[in-house]
Structure 1
Amino acid sequence: MAQRVTAVAVSEGVERVAVATAAPWFPGCGELLLWENASHGGRGSDPVRLGVARRTPGVAIRDLLFGPGGTALSASFGGTEEQHVGQVAHWTRLGARERWRRSISRPFYAGYGDFGGVRLAVSGDGATVAGCDQSSRSVVAWRAADGEQVAEPAGIGGSEAIAVDADGARLAFRLCRPYERAPEGAIAVLDLRDGSLATHPTGLGWCAGLTFSPDGRSLAVVGATGSTAVAVLIDLAGGAPRTVPLAELPGEARQQVVRPVWGAAGPRAAVRAGRTVTVWDLAAGAPLLAVPDLGRSTAWALSPEGRALVVASPERVRAHDV
């Protein structure tokens, strides 16, 4: 009965896939489906419908993300401009009940609305889940095991994107104060151990997504400058950032959501332009794969190692080798 796919997540090797659907005219018919893919190394299973407690009318899943190995799943819930919902839920295993759910603070100003829900990130070891609420500009981190809050830095706001490093020690996000963004497209890197904050200018007008390198020494940021999609590679030790142009974007695609990944093949991201999604090698600025003719109700995600692009529509789910 799905009319729209709101989010899709994929684990390493496309062994597990999760798809969130919505039916705007029939709010009770939205689903969260999860299955194992036998053709890509999993045991194989019929889709499992995860129970999603509908505590607020009109709630929709806005973001989905597997933990390492695909053994845990996190989802964010959003509402509408009239009914703000900023929640994060976590499941620890396939078919299990929801382990915990947490709410993020209300908007500073009602005019912000709920325009993007909570953006999610998970540490490389799976122990830390972080969220950046697009409405309240809140940045929060929780322990994946029990939902205990790790950090909610006072006086520090974030928007647009968030990332966690391999061991959950640092958060990276687009720095944002109430009512205004930081100058020069600054990205903040917050050390959760001592509370120190470092900022790195990118020059981006919009930060679509970001990810740490596996060794934690670099950060790949994808966003837009004017009408151009660009990647900015940041040396966290203090070297000059490197800007890599990717593609020209139509107006409606200049503030899209992107989740870049950084595996053994280097940093990659899937960027939409019109009805085509292209997987880019961010270091080289080279296109690797293009999937055309996507509908408006479609969602997509790169596998964590960057070697597969999964595209989910209301009719089917397909995986493309990169």
Structure 2
Amino acid sequence: MAVRQLCAPGDLDLRRPLPGRPAAAQRVTAVAATSGLSRVAVATAAPWFPGLAELLVLSPGEGGRPTRLPMARRPRGAVVRDLLFSRGGRALTLSLGGSEEQQLGQLAHFTLEPTPVERWRRALSRPVYAAFGECGGLRLAVSGDGEVVAGCDQASRSVLAWSAADGSRLVDGSAEPPRVGGSEAVAVDADGSRLAFRLCRPYERAPDGGVAVLTPDGGALRVLATGLDWCAGLVFAPDGTRLMVVGTADGTAESVLLDPALPPGEEVVERRRLAALPAEAAHQTLRPVWGAAGPRAALRVDRTVTVWDLAGGGPLRSVSDLGRSTAWALTPDGRALVVASPAEIRGHDLG
């Protein structure tokens, strides 16, 4: 399968490297791409110098130098933890935080056309429980129409959703009553009318791998049992009728297809075993995608990422020799895997 180079040598170099140090960034913290690879966003960082972190947007088909977006509003800088395009690549949402310099996480939303503009920025919670440590950043989800942005605030374990237009709060899981808690895995359907997430309470495990489907307008909340020990990611079908869940059970990666319309106890439509996972890879968080080619997900084991066809249960492609400084992501249509290192960005065609 074809591999496409998505940037020129030196495109990802820091603009203002420290004296006596190389211009190459020390690691890539996040990467995102649009369907067709018309746009790619890459967040680079220097762990010992957070102020040197940069966010770049590239248009591989058009050439030219990358566009750098401003992230920090204070001298200590910012670290990008997650990125996600929406509206066909015309908007970009990013999750900031998770460092000693910036324990308070943030969410920022940019529009990229005709010129990049930051539309709004919102602060996340400080850690409520000391054992949770620093804010690890919000794992993002965006509705298919780009109107709703959602995530689970890992500091408070609250499920949150915002309007992409103005940043107004649509769902506040920290409000009482009831308190809606979730883990990092979250998904939004095509029109933003439903959110799905792995149920979570501080120091507690959701029974039977419970996945919740929340309707923000009416507040209806239904819990679906998956039988998984860990939920790594979720994705709605394009028509919103079904929900694919990826996780682990007894040390094996599994995909579980759910139909929320079925009666309780009958929600599981199909279950497939994918591959055995070592202990260090059992609790990863990922973002499955569901396009015309069906549901797909990229699972990491050691230094290898494998893209799986969740409907068929078979592997599509593996990319090996990935270091700790590397980030990867599937395009929304699932037809390409983008791998970004401090030196290059590659797009692997999946067909």
Q: Considering the TM-score relative to the shorter chain, is it more than 0.5?
A: yes
Q: CA deviation at 1:206?
A: 1.8
Query: 5+ unaligned residues in a row in structure 2: which ranges?
Result: 1-23
Which of these two proteins has the greater Rg computed from alpha carbons?
2
Highest RCO, 1 vs 2 (Cα 8 Å, sep ≥ 6): 2
- C-alpha separation in 1, matches of 2:212 and 2:75: 33
Farther-moved stretch of structure 1 (227-236 vs 105-114): 105-114
Offset of 1:58 from its aligned partner? 6.3
Measure how far apart 1:106 and its partner are.
2.4
Structure 1 distance, partners of 2:301, 2:248, is 12
Match of 1:197 among 200, 211, 221: 221
Secondary structure (helix, strand or coil) at the match of 1:252 reads: helix
Given residue 206 of structure 1, which amino acid in structure 2 is its aligned partner?
A: W
- Which stretches in structure 1 are left out of the alignment for 5+ residues? none
Inter-CA distance 127–197: structure 2 relative to 1 (3 Å threshold): same
In structure 2, distance between residues paired with 1:48 and 1:243 = 43
Letter in 2 for 1:216: G
Distance 2:299 2:245 in 1: 12
SS of the equivalent of 1:121 reads strand
In the aligned structure 2, how far is the partner of 1:115 from the partner of 1:107?
7
Secondary structure at 2:311 match in 1: coil
Task: Report if the CA contact (8 A) 2:79-2:99 is conserved.
Answer: no
* SS state at 1:102 partner: strand
The residue aligned with 1:28 is: 51
1:167 aligns with 2:191: yes
**Aligned equivalent of 1:87:** 106
Mean CA deviation greater in 221-230 or 137-146: 221-230
Check whether the contact 2:27–2:45 (CA below 8 A) recurs between aligned residues: yes
Equivalent of 1:259 in 263, 287, 297? 287
> Which residue, out of 137, 158, 175, partners 1:138?
158
Amino acid corresponding to residue 310 of structure 2 in structure 1:
L
Report what 2:131 is aligned to.
111
Q: Check the 8 A contact 1:80/1:113 in 2, yes or no.
A: no
What amino acid sits opposite 1:191 in the alignment? T
Shift of 1:83: 5.4
Q: Measure the CA separation in 1 of the matches of 2:78 and 2:209.
A: 31
Q: Which amino acid aligns with 1:76?
A: S
Counterpart mapping for 1:48-67 below 5 A: 48-55=67-74, 57=76, 59-67=78-86
- Under a length normalisation based on structure 2, what TM-score does the superposition of the two structures give? 0.87
Deviates more, 1:103-112 or 1:189-198: 103-112
Identify the match of residue 308 of structure 2 among 280, 290, 303: 280
Counterpart pick for 1:156 among 180, 197, 211: 180
Partners of 1:145 and 1:139 lie apart in 2 by 19
What fraction of aligned residue pairs are identical, expressed as a percent?
63
Contact 2:51–2:75 (CA under 8 A) maintained in structure 1 = no
Once the two structures are superposed, the pairs formed by residues 222-233 of structure 1 within 5 Å of their partners are: 222-233=246-257
Q: 2:142 matched to which residue of 1?
A: 122
* Aligned: 1:314 with 2:342: yes
TM-score, length-scaled by structure 1: 0.94
Give the CA deviation at 1:107: 2.3
- Using the TM superposition, give the Cα deviation of residue 104 of structure 1 relative to its aligned residue in structure 2, in angstroms: 2.0
> Aligned-residue CA RMSD in angstroms?
1.6
1:305 corresponds in structure 2 to 333
